[in-house]
Amino acid sequence: MSIEERSPLKPWVGVPGEISELFRPHLDGLAEEMIEEILAGVPEYARPQDEEYARLVRLAVEGALRQFVDLIMDPDSSWEPVAAVYREIGWAEAREGRSLDVLQTSLRLGARVAWRRLAAESERYNISRRTLASIAEGIFAFLDEIARAATEGYTKAREQEAGELEHRRRRLLDLLLAEPAAAPQAVADLARLAQWRVPRTVAAVVLHERSGETFSHPSLPPDVLADLNRREPCLLVPDPDGPGRARMLEGALRDWVAAMGPTVRVEDAAKSMRWAREALPLARRGVLPSEGLVRCADHMPTLVVFKDEELVRAVAELRLAPLRGVRPRHRERLVRTLLSCLQNGFNATEVAARLHVHPQTVRYRLHQLEELFGEQLYDPETRLEMEMVLTVWLNGPDAARDAEADARD
């Protein structure tokens, strides 16, 4: 938007045009005085060895003075030349890592010098108080405009800088998750450019949106490497076992189904990612609880069992054959009872508490299972195998069909 569009009243319109002719011969001396005051009052701008920076400061001061005088003579004169200079200054401030406060200070100092000179010369040129007031109003409006131009350049530089940093962090994430592992020096070099401190340990997290609705970007600490725009959104969390890290992740990822791989050394990040990828589909299917962050380290037996699900189902066809003759409505109850018995050492009281039934109910079902399976039910060599196949069966199509049949009955 142009200055004309933003400032329809143009306060400098009220300043008599001949004032510009009075000011113009004094511009060089005023510029020198303003530059001297700015360099003395803003140490960040005092760079005697930096000729390019000194040139930019002089260009900004002289350009602003000429522009202001031109606006008095012709309120419709082009604003773009001086606006371009101040956009460049704002850009430089951002690249120098400073806030715009320093620039605002320099603008105030320059305006103070200009007003001091104007006040000193007003009696000599018989400038009325009304005209002085119009000039003051014009100066303040003019300062707002050049400050706005500087802010535009500053904002653009910060956005570009943030984009560059984000790009480097995504490249670093890809490098850390690559197999085989990247050379430590390559990781260190890219980490330095990405402003990321290489930690001692990491854990990978893979994500899936809980719903199709627009999600809010998780609020994560700056040391967490994240890429939510890839086909498989993921994070790499430094020092995942540190104080407060688990609570932070739970809160930040509440809108996602999230699976976190085991804690590993940095060079083994890809291994953590592999386990997280194994866990996420199981969490989405309901095999693993998905209400909070799914930690692979807490579900390793299940992950191992489901590593080759087809093989386990083939074994299940053999081991669970005696259950085929049981009505679907009753089959799932027996399967759940048997799995709980295997997990709790056939302790009827503990199994009853797990299944929320009476211990006598457990004993009755166990008697039925003994009739179906015989002595193999207590065979130490088959118990682990039975536990594995029962876990898979309960999360597969057979259990779903039995649930449907139970609902129909």
pTM of the model: 0.56
| pLDDT tens, position by position, 333-356 | 998 899 899 888 889 999 999 999
Calculate what percentage of the chain has a pLDDT beyond 90. Answer: 25
Give me the amino acid identity at 150.
Answer: A
| pLDDT tens, position by position, 201-230 | 999 999 998 875 555 678 899 999 999 888
pLDDT for residue 316 is more than 70: yes
pLDDT for residue 292 is more than 80: yes
Q: What is the pLDDT at residue 327?
A: 86
Residue 3 — very low, low, confident or very high, per pLDDT cuts 50/70/90?
very low
CA distances from 212 to 56, 141, 207, 249 (A): 51, 48, 13, 21
Q: How many CB atoms are closer than 10 A to CB 85?
A: 22
Q: Give the position of tokens 């809980």.
A: 210
pLDDT for residue 96 is more than 60: yes
pLDDT for residue 360 is more than 90: yes
Comparison of pLDDT for 391 and 185, the residue scoring more: 185
From the list 145, 152, 167, 164, the residue with the least C-alpha distance to 93 is: 152
| pLDDT tens, position by position, 234-264 | 999 999 999 989 889 998 998 899 999 999 9
Q: What is the pLDDT at residue 296?
A: 92
Rounded-to-integer distance, Cα 312 and Cα 318, Å: 10
Q: How many CA atoms lie within 13 A of 122 on its CB side?
A: 16
Residue 1 — very low, low, confident or very high, per pLDDT cuts 50/70/90?
very low
Q: What is the pLDDT at residue 407?
A: 46
Mean pLDDT of the 37-61 span: 74
Q: What is the pLDDT at residue 350?
A: 93
Comparison of pLDDT for 336 and 56, the residue scoring more: 336
From the list 153, 152, 145, the residue with the least C-alpha distance to 107 is: 145
From the list 409, 346, 335, 337, the residue with the least C-alpha distance to 380 is: 346
Comparison of pLDDT for 101 and 363, the residue scoring more: 363
Element (H, E) at 174: helix 129-176
Rounded-to-integer distance, Cα 257 and Cα 290, Å: 6
Residues with Cβ within 8 Å of residue 48, at least 6 apart in sequence: 54
Residue 318 — very low, low, confident or very high, per pLDDT cuts 50/70/90?
confident
Q: What is the pLDDT at residue 8?
A: 40
Residues with Cβ within 8 Å of residue 383, at least 6 apart in sequence: 342
Burial 4-22 (b: 16+ CB within 10 A, else e): eeebeeebbebbeeebbee
pLDDT for residue 400 is more than 70: no
Q: Quick check: 352 and 361 in contact, CB under 8 A?
A: yes
| pLDDT tens, position by position, 123-137 | 777 888 888 888 888
Q: What is the pLDDT at residue 272?
A: 96
